[in-house]
Amino acid sequence: MAERFRILFVCMGNICRSPIAEAVTRTLALRQGLAALLEFDSAGTHGHYHAGEPPDARARRVALRRGYDLSRLRARSVIEADFDRFDRILAMDEANLAVLRRLCPEESRTKLGLFLSYAPHLGISEIPDPYYGAESGFDRAVDLCELAARGLLAEFARERGFA
Protein backbone atom coordinates (compact mmCIF):
# COMPACT_ATOMS: atom_id res chain seq x y z
CA MET A 1 0.00 0.00 0.00
CA ALA A 2 1.22 3.50 -0.81
CA GLU A 3 2.33 5.79 1.96
CA ARG A 4 -0.52 7.79 3.41
CA PHE A 5 -0.91 11.48 2.61
CA ARG A 6 -0.51 13.41 5.86
CA ILE A 7 -2.41 16.61 6.70
CA LEU A 8 -1.82 18.82 9.74
CA PHE A 9 -4.43 21.39 10.82
CA VAL A 10 -3.14 24.36 12.79
CA CYS A 11 -4.71 27.08 14.93
CA MET A 12 -3.38 29.01 17.90
CA GLY A 13 -4.00 26.82 20.95
CA ASN A 14 -5.06 23.54 19.32
CA ILE A 15 -8.20 23.40 21.46
CA CYS A 16 -10.91 24.78 19.15
CA ARG A 17 -10.58 25.12 15.39
CA SER A 18 -7.77 22.73 14.48
CA PRO A 19 -9.14 19.76 16.46
CA ILE A 20 -12.55 20.41 14.91
CA ALA A 21 -10.93 20.47 11.45
CA GLU A 22 -9.05 17.25 12.21
CA ALA A 23 -12.14 15.37 13.45
CA VAL A 24 -14.43 16.64 10.70
CA THR A 25 -11.99 15.79 7.92
CA ARG A 26 -11.17 12.38 9.39
CA THR A 27 -14.87 11.52 9.71
CA LEU A 28 -15.73 12.68 6.19
CA ALA A 29 -12.72 10.79 4.77
CA LEU A 30 -13.95 7.66 6.54
CA ARG A 31 -17.45 8.10 5.12
CA GLN A 32 -16.01 8.58 1.62
CA GLY A 33 -13.77 5.53 1.81
CA LEU A 34 -10.55 7.60 1.76
CA ALA A 35 -9.45 7.09 5.37
CA ALA A 36 -6.88 4.39 4.58
CA LEU A 37 -5.09 6.82 2.27
CA LEU A 38 -4.93 9.75 4.67
CA GLU A 39 -3.51 10.61 8.08
CA PHE A 40 -4.63 13.64 10.08
CA ASP A 41 -3.34 15.53 13.08
CA SER A 42 -3.69 18.98 14.57
CA ALA A 43 -1.41 21.32 16.47
CA GLY A 44 -1.18 24.88 17.68
CA THR A 45 1.28 27.66 17.07
CA HIS A 46 0.86 28.44 20.77
CA GLY A 47 -0.16 24.92 21.76
CA HIS A 48 2.20 24.85 24.72
CA TYR A 49 -0.41 26.87 26.65
CA HIS A 50 -2.76 23.88 26.51
CA ALA A 51 -0.35 20.98 25.88
CA GLY A 52 -1.95 17.64 26.75
CA GLU A 53 -5.40 19.16 27.33
CA PRO A 54 -8.51 17.97 25.51
CA PRO A 55 -10.25 20.37 23.14
CA ASP A 56 -12.44 23.09 24.64
CA ALA A 57 -15.61 21.63 26.17
CA ARG A 58 -17.79 23.74 23.86
CA ALA A 59 -15.90 22.43 20.81
CA ARG A 60 -16.35 18.84 22.01
CA ARG A 61 -20.05 19.36 22.75
CA VAL A 62 -20.91 21.07 19.44
CA ALA A 63 -18.82 18.65 17.37
CA LEU A 64 -20.34 15.59 19.05
CA ARG A 65 -23.83 16.96 18.47
CA ARG A 66 -22.89 17.07 14.77
CA GLY A 67 -21.38 13.56 14.71
CA TYR A 68 -17.69 14.34 15.26
CA ASP A 69 -15.83 12.91 18.24
CA LEU A 70 -12.99 15.03 19.64
CA SER A 71 -12.68 13.12 22.91
CA ARG A 72 -9.37 11.41 22.10
CA LEU A 73 -7.60 14.53 20.83
CA ARG A 74 -5.05 16.38 22.95
CA ALA A 75 -3.44 19.76 22.35
CA ARG A 76 0.14 19.99 21.22
CA SER A 77 2.45 22.55 19.65
CA VAL A 78 3.71 22.55 16.10
CA ILE A 79 7.23 21.11 16.16
CA GLU A 80 10.04 21.31 13.62
CA ALA A 81 9.57 17.68 12.56
CA ASP A 82 6.00 18.47 11.43
CA PHE A 83 7.36 20.35 8.42
CA ASP A 84 9.01 17.14 7.17
CA ARG A 85 6.36 14.68 8.29
CA PHE A 86 3.24 16.31 6.80
CA ASP A 87 2.40 16.76 3.14
CA ARG A 88 -0.01 19.67 3.77
CA ILE A 89 -0.08 22.02 6.75
CA LEU A 90 -3.29 24.02 6.83
CA ALA A 91 -3.79 27.04 9.06
CA MET A 92 -7.17 28.25 10.21
CA ASP A 93 -6.30 31.92 9.70
CA GLU A 94 -3.71 34.33 8.31
CA ALA A 95 -2.09 35.03 11.70
CA ASN A 96 -1.29 31.36 12.29
CA LEU A 97 -0.19 30.95 8.68
CA ALA A 98 2.28 33.81 9.23
CA VAL A 99 3.67 32.04 12.31
CA LEU A 100 4.01 28.81 10.31
CA ARG A 101 5.87 30.67 7.56
CA ARG A 102 8.36 31.99 10.12
CA LEU A 103 8.92 28.53 11.61
CA CYS A 104 8.95 26.57 8.36
CA PRO A 105 12.15 25.65 6.53
CA GLU A 106 12.29 27.14 3.03
CA GLU A 107 12.09 23.73 1.33
CA SER A 108 8.75 22.96 3.03
CA ARG A 109 6.95 26.27 2.44
CA THR A 110 4.90 24.90 -0.46
CA LYS A 111 3.14 22.62 2.05
CA LEU A 112 1.60 25.60 3.86
CA GLY A 113 -1.84 27.00 3.16
CA LEU A 114 -5.19 28.04 4.56
CA PHE A 115 -7.81 25.38 5.20
CA LEU A 116 -10.60 27.54 3.78
CA SER A 117 -8.77 27.77 0.45
CA TYR A 118 -10.55 24.47 -0.25
CA ALA A 119 -13.91 26.28 -0.09
CA PRO A 120 -13.24 29.30 -2.35
CA HIS A 121 -16.93 29.77 -3.11
CA LEU A 122 -17.37 31.13 0.43
CA GLY A 123 -15.36 34.25 -0.34
CA ILE A 124 -13.61 34.15 3.05
CA SER A 125 -10.19 32.80 3.94
CA GLU A 126 -10.31 32.42 7.72
CA ILE A 127 -12.23 30.35 10.23
CA PRO A 128 -12.98 32.79 13.07
CA ASP A 129 -11.69 31.80 16.50
CA PRO A 130 -14.76 30.94 18.60
CA TYR A 131 -12.90 30.77 21.92
CA TYR A 132 -14.00 34.11 23.39
CA GLY A 133 -17.52 34.05 21.98
CA ALA A 134 -20.80 32.21 22.30
CA GLU A 135 -21.32 28.54 21.52
CA SER A 136 -22.79 29.56 18.15
CA GLY A 137 -19.22 30.41 17.10
CA PHE A 138 -18.32 26.74 17.49
CA ASP A 139 -21.26 25.77 15.27
CA ARG A 140 -19.95 28.21 12.66
CA ALA A 141 -16.47 26.68 12.96
CA VAL A 142 -17.91 23.20 12.34
CA ASP A 143 -19.91 24.51 9.36
CA LEU A 144 -16.79 26.05 7.80
CA CYS A 145 -14.65 22.99 8.54
CA GLU A 146 -17.22 20.75 6.84
CA LEU A 147 -17.16 22.88 3.70
CA ALA A 148 -13.36 23.08 3.60
CA ALA A 149 -13.00 19.35 4.34
CA ARG A 150 -15.33 18.45 1.49
CA GLY A 151 -13.27 20.59 -0.88
CA LEU A 152 -9.98 19.18 0.40
CA LEU A 153 -11.15 15.58 0.08
CA ALA A 154 -12.63 16.21 -3.38
CA GLU A 155 -9.30 17.64 -4.55
CA PHE A 156 -7.41 14.73 -3.02
CA ALA A 157 -9.71 12.22 -4.74
CA ARG A 158 -9.41 14.02 -8.11
CA GLU A 159 -5.60 14.13 -7.87
CA ARG A 160 -5.50 10.40 -7.12
CA GLY A 161 -8.00 9.49 -9.86
CA PHE A 162 -10.83 8.51 -7.53
CA ALA A 163 -13.31 11.15 -8.66
Per annotation, catalytic residue among 16, 17, 56, 60: 17
- Cβ of 59: how many Cβ atoms within 10 Å? 27
Q: What is the pLDDT of residue 163?
A: 66
Is 17 one of the catalytic residues? yes
Q: Tell me whether residue 32 is exposed, middle or buried, using C-beta atoms within 10 angstroms of its C-beta: 0 to 12, 13 to 18, 19 or more.
A: middle
Q: What is the pLDDT of residue 41?
A: 98
Per annotation, catalytic residue among 11, 16, 104, 145: 11
Q: What is the pLDDT of residue 161?
A: 86
Is 16 one of the catalytic residues? no
**The 3-state secondary structure of 82-134, one letter per residue:** HHHHCCEEEECCHHHHHHHHHHCCHHHHHHEEEHHHHCHHHCCCCCCCCCCCC
Q: What is the pLDDT of residue 55?
A: 97
- Cβ of 4: how many Cβ atoms within 10 Å? 13
Longest Cα–Cα distance in the chain? 44
Per annotation, catalytic residue among 56, 82, 93, 129: 129
5-159 CATH: 3.40.50.2300
Mean pLDDT of the chain: 96
Give the model confidence (pLDDT) of 48-84 as tens digits.
888 999 999 999 999 999 999 999 999 999 999 999 9
Write phi, then psi, for 77 (nearest 5 degrees): -90, 155
Q: What is the pLDDT of residue 3?
A: 84
The Cα 90–Cα 116 span in angstroms is: 9
Is 93 one of the catalytic residues? no
Q: Where are the domains of the chain?
A: 5-159
Residues of the chain with pLDDT under 70: 1-2, 163
